[in-house]
């Protein structure tokens, strides 16, 4: 069993992904946005109206609570970038070994194969490790803004009634 804060971060990471995906659907692919999950919600940096963010956060929460788990995984996640870097480094290092100059071509090929493999592996890592679409007990508490570009979406777990 994971510590509660890790479970909360995974849930908030899923809500962040779903929110960003909905924002991209509404605003378009030119939206520049970055996010980071925390134990009490997530941060979002984007130039967009507060009302639009509020709509997308609430819709994202509803969709995840309805069981639409696919919203939790996205190709835009930093997990994919980290996975790509690690796999490319490991693959090229394994192939090149100590004979770096005469194996450069193999190192490049190994790195390219790793980059191709990283997308599906990164999504699996998101699905099973870094996000959790189980937001049944989650509620949005507030959406705060600083200068209309930096947002903090605060969440909490609802109290579960004790069994009688």
Instruction: Give residue-wise pLDDT tens across range 39-51.
Output: 999 999 999 999 9
CA angle 59, 60, 62 (to 5 degrees): 65
In percent, the amount of the chain with pLDDT more than 90 equals 62
Spatial neighbors of 109 by CB under 8 A, at least 6 apart, are 95
The domains found in the chain, sorted by start residue, are: 4-73+132-156 (3.30.980), 78-126 (no CATH)
The pTM of this model reads 0.87
Sheet of strand 138-146: strand arrangement = 33-38, 41-46, 150-157, 138-146
Q: How confident is the model at residue 13 (pLDDT cuts 50, 70, 90)?
A: very high
In percent, the amount of the chain with pLDDT more than 70 equals 93
Residue 69 has pLDDT above 80, yes or no: yes
What value does the mean pLDDT of the chain take? 90
DSSP structural state of residue 76: T
Q: What is the pLDDT of residues 82-123, one digit of tens each?
A: 898 888 888 888 887 766 666 677 878 888 888 898 889 999
Give the integer Cα–Cα distance in Å for 133 and 61: 9
What pLDDT, on the 0 to 100 scale, is given for residue 85? 87
């Amino acid at each position: 069993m994971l510590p509660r804060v890790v479970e909360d971060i995974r849930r908030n990471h899923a809500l962040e992904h779903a929110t960003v995906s909905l924002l991209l659907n509404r605003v378009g692919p030119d939206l520049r946005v970055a996010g980071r999950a925390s134990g009490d919600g997530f941060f979002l940096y984007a130039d967009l109206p507060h009302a639009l963010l509020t709509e997308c956060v609430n819709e994202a929460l509803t969709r995840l609570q309805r069981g639409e788990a696919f919203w939790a995984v996205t190709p835009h996640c930093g997990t994919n970038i980290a996975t790509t870097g690690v796999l490319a480094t490991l693959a090229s290092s394994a192939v090149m070994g100590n004979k770096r100059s005469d194996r450069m071509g193999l190192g490049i090929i190994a790195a390219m194969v790793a980059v191709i493999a990283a997308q599906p592996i990164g999504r699996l890592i998101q699905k099973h490790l870094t996000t959790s679409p189980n937001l049944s007990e989650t509620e949005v508490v507030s959406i705060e803004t600083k200068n209309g570009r930096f947002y903090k979406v605060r969440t909490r777990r609802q109290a579960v009634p004790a069994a009688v």
